[in-house]
Amino acid sequence: MIKLIKPYITFQEVEEDFKRIFESGTFTKGEYVNKFLQEIKTYLGVDHAFLTTSATTALTMCLKSLGIGLGDEVIVSDFSFPATVNVVEDIGAMPIFADVDQDTFNMKSEELERKITQKTKAVIFVDAFGNPSGISKIKGICEEHQIPLIEDAACAIGSSENGVNVGKIADLTCFSFHPRKLLTTGEGGVITTNKKEIAEIMSVKLNHGAIVRDGMADFINYGYNYRLSELQAAMGIKQLNKLESIVKSRNSIADEYKKRLHLLGFKRQNSLDNVIHNIQSLVFMVPEGMNRDHLIAYLTENGIESTIGTYCLSNTTYYKNKYNSVQPIAKYLEKNTVTLPCYDNVDHKYISNIIEKYVRTLED
Ligand SMILES: *Cc1c(COP(=O)(O)O)cnc(C)c1O
């Protein structure tokens, strides 16, 4: 079976570090966590970074640190993994679904402008499959309306727009280190921001509500523990150093696929000219009239793992029943996109051949 994903980390790479951690007995809040944080800040060029247990907890922390809650509205990109909207629902705010662009799969700026109200307290823009296309434009609109912009960059480590790294564009950016993403610590995430005031709140909230004065904890607020461990940080450090070459390699594989599949009527997720897209997932829109689920089944029969693109949030059972606000483009993409295997040495020629064979079966 050709797998959909393959992690960019081996046991050999972390073996020495894991030994050191076990020998030291320091499993949390030690040198690896500090080093990982420092390297993330340097790599992205941001002032503040906070490690978390996941992108989901990271997003929740952003909303909480902004004081968002009951009665507030948060506008979210509608084509994403449900965590994007679950965090809004969880804190009692009302999610407002913004439809996406059918080429980039990202929030449309006209949609955002149309949906801003007096109650809008934040916008969550999703870099669909790591593609940040349009984030700068969305940021401009948010600034004009003085609404904080949170970037769900769960998939987007290593991506940029206009030469600016994802992580320093939005007011708050959340990355994931889940194994489906380019950099994995098993589970994990990080929040980055250049906003000092938010960072101050965040650091208290993420330390059980405490500030430390003269070595003594003073619990000035209530808070949480969403920390990453030393072992996880050691894994993260190793991959951060390789990120640039990973992104380059994924892009060249994606281009090879595109050459073949565009001839067959497939359309790859597009990114704007000034964008570096890390290709966290390689996603194509299937030709009009093709049954995407049949294609996935055919690929499985031929030993190739593939999957859907992602979800139309407003069309999931819970949110459809509660808000009845299904967005048409996101709904179309949910039904008509496919994710293909993309990593070093993947046999993209074989996979493209099988897809071509499938297209020919439809012609008979
Ligand atoms: C993976 C993903 C998440 C959730 O990340 P976790 O680290 O698993 O919580 C959120 N949003 C998007 C867009 C994702 O792809």
Collapsed DSSP state (helix, strand, coil) of residue 295: helix
CA distances from 91 to 64, 67, 132, 249 (A): 8, 10, 26, 39
Which listed residue (139, 181, 267, 331) is catalytic? 181
The per-residue pLDDT for 19 is 98
Among 50, 62, 76, 84, which residue has the most ligand 1 atoms within 8 Å of its CB, making it the best to mutate?
84
- Say how many Å lie between the CA of residue 260 and the centre of ligand 1: 30
Average the pLDDT over 324-346 and give the result: 98
The per-residue pLDDT for 363 is 87
Q: Is the CB of 55 under 6 A from ligand 1?
A: yes
| Mean pLDDT, rounded, of the chain | 97
Cβ distance 230 to 34 under 8 Å?
no
Is residue 181 flagged as an active site residue? Answer: yes
Q: Is the CB of 176 under 6 A from ligand 1?
A: yes
The pLDDT tens digits for 255-278 are: 999 999 999 999 999 999 999 999
Q: Is the pLDDT of residue 333 over 80?
A: yes
Pairwise CA distance, residues 128 & 154, whole Å: 9
Pairwise CA distance, residues 180 & 7, whole Å: 8
Pairwise CA distance, residues 33 & 230, whole Å: 6
Nearest 5°: the CA angle 353, 261, 80 is 115
Pairwise CA distance, residues 158 & 327, whole Å: 29
Q: Ligand 1, residue 155: give the atom nearest the CA.
A: 15
Pairwise CA distance, residues 131 & 139, whole Å: 15
Q: Is the pLDDT of residue 364 over 90?
A: no
The pLDDT tens digits for 304-320 are: 999 999 999 999 999 99
Q: Is the CB of 153 under 6 A from ligand 1?
A: no
Among 81, 125, 173, which residue has the most ligand 1 atoms within 8 Å of its CB, making it the best to mutate?
81
